[in-house]
Amino acid sequence: MPPTTTQPRKTPKQERSAATRARILAAGAEVFGEHGYAAGTTNRIAERAGLSIGSLYQYFPNKDAILVQLMRDHVEAGVGEIARRLGDVAGLPEGLEERVALFVDAAMANHAGNPRLHRVLFEESPVPADLRAELDRAEAWAVDVVAAMPAEEPSVRVGEPRLAAYVVVSTIESLTHRYLAGGDRYGSPEAFARHVVAMVTAYLRGA
């Protein structure tokens, strides 16, 4: 008799495999964050993950594959975080300022996790062309989302809405990254976020 429950479910073997993969990625995040890209060697990652170098290569074809997956995960988390907050219609704020704050808070949360790693990933590592394209698509998605907002928000009066949306997305992404990578030398995270929100809001309302 065939099993009654054959719905797609991971076999124990696949689960173990996925867990090992996750362990390698976690180790990679630690090692890259601590040692940087060049000194973040596969041997160190394997050691940190508690397995041998030979086993590591059973799960990832090369060093950069680990790095790329970490980058991908980070971007996906960011996109997912924004999408989740936007989808949460019940709590979607009405005012422009509150909506901007939603994006800023999501970006701060996304980058706050491991600033040191984030810096290594995006300031010190070579980005393959295909991942670069993926990052551009994520940016384009965010631009679309932001560009759709003004239509339903009468207080927005800035011209060239698509360029404006790009400026907004770039500003939030770049500034939060830079602030968190550089340390809070000029103010608390809360104060900084407040200023970014104020700047973007003032911009969107028109001068």
What residues contact residue 189 under an 8 Å CB cut-off, 6+ apart? 108, 112, 179, 180
CA distance 181 to 49: 26
Residue 143 near which of DNA, a second copy, none (CB within 5-8 Å, type-dependent)? a second copy
Q: CA 146, 138, 180, 149: dihedral to nearest 10 degrees? A: 10
How many residues would you count in the chain? 207
H or E stretch covering 167: helix 161-182
Q: Please give the residues from 86 up to 115 whose contact with a second copy meets the rule CB under 8 A.
A: none
Tell me: does residue 60 bind a second copy (CB under 8 A): no
- Name residues contacting DNA, limited to 48-67 (CB under 7 A): 51-55, 57-58, 61-64
Q: Which spans of this chain sit near DNA (rule: CB under 7 A)?
A: 13, 16-17, 20, 39-43, 51-55, 57-58, 61-64
Q: Which spans of this chain sit near a second copy (rule: CB under 8 A)?
A: 36-38, 122-127, 136, 143, 158, 160, 162-167, 170-171, 174-175, 178-179, 182, 185-187, 191-192, 195-196, 198-203, 205-207
